[in-house]
Amino acid sequence: MSDASVKSSVPMVDAAGVSKSFGSNEVLKSITLQVQPGEVMCVIGPSGSGKSTFLRCINHLERVDAGRLSVEGELVGYRQKGGKLYELKPSEAALQRRDIGMVFQHFNLFPHMTALENLVEAPIRVKGISRSDAVARGRELLAQVGLADHANHYPAQLSGGQQQRVAIARALAMDPKLMLFDEPTSALDPELVGDVLDVMRGLAESGMTMVVVTHEMGFAREVGDSLVFMDGGVVVEAGTPRDVLSNPQHQRTKAFLSKVL
């Protein structure tokens, strides 16, 4: 078996018994799930259910208290030595993180930089790509998200939906193997949501592995390969979007969906 086929058989995300507490508040309670390469997993659930915290643990923005999290077979945030886990240095964790794109609810663009400058900063500084190559790639990505003519606009000159599309393009500029979306449309006016979802739909069609925390049930049904319902820090129910949304098995899932569908 070739190296490529071995690698493709490894889950992109493998969470085993992942737990996380903030003080006495246990936010994640032994989460176990896998995301396969090329899969789009949508995660739904009420506020405070642990969805965003789990997403942040995948790229070690939050450290886990128990369990293990791997991306493409590599432990996230830790190395194992002699049966013990040791947390990576911040610089080592940052190196891991550059392969994982994350798009937040609030766009987190640099306000003093144009759209194009927001895209080229990290590839130049972190990956050592030449400015000319980074600019060429940045323009390609802005075109991909429908903003080719907004390269020289500053964030304040863009709508919320346009800023979020720039944020997606900025994450893609690092050529990630995995994209994480933390409720990317929840801060947007309703008429701006569609353009952002269209970009995400295109990414899914291109084969990008994605974990999407969302309230957009139509997107989850149409684009998701799998759907996870979380509540109270646990995975209550998981399956295909069609099965979970149309025929939920758990009473808590039924109660939640009755309010959002």
The model's confidence at residue 93, banded by pLDDT at 50, 70 and 90, is confident
Backbone region of residue 232 per phi and psi (left: phi > 0; alpha: psi in -120 to 50; beta: other values): left
**What pLDDT is stored for residue 206 in this prediction?**
96
| Secondary structure, 3-state, 161-176 | HHHHHHHHHHHHCCCC
- CA nearest neighbour of 51 among 250, 197, 247, 184: 184
Amino acid at 145: V
**What pLDDT is stored for residue 8 in this prediction?**
57
Least confident of 3-17, 59-73, 166-180, 239-253: 3-17
- pTM for the predicted model, two decimal places: 0.93
Q: Percent of the chain at pLDDT above 90?
A: 84
Query: Residue 18: beta bridge partners?
Result: 31
Q: What digits encode the pLDDT tens for the residues 220-236?
A: 999 999 999 999 999 99
Q: Is the pLDDT of residue 2 over 80?
A: no
User: Among positive and negative, which fits the CA dihedral 93, 98, 101, 106?
Assistant: positive
Q: What digits encode the pLDDT tens for the residues 168-196?
A: 999 999 999 999 999 999 989 988 999 99
**What pLDDT is stored for residue 9 in this prediction?**
81
**What pLDDT is stored for residue 1 in this prediction?**
39
Report the chain's mean pLDDT, rounded to a whole number: 93
Q: Is the pLDDT of residue 5 over 80?
A: no
What is the Rg, in whole angstroms, of the alpha carbon atoms belonging to the chain?
A: 19
Q: What digits encode the pLDDT tens for the residues 96-152?
A: 888 999 999 988 899 999 999 999 999 999 899 999 999 999 999 999 999 999 999
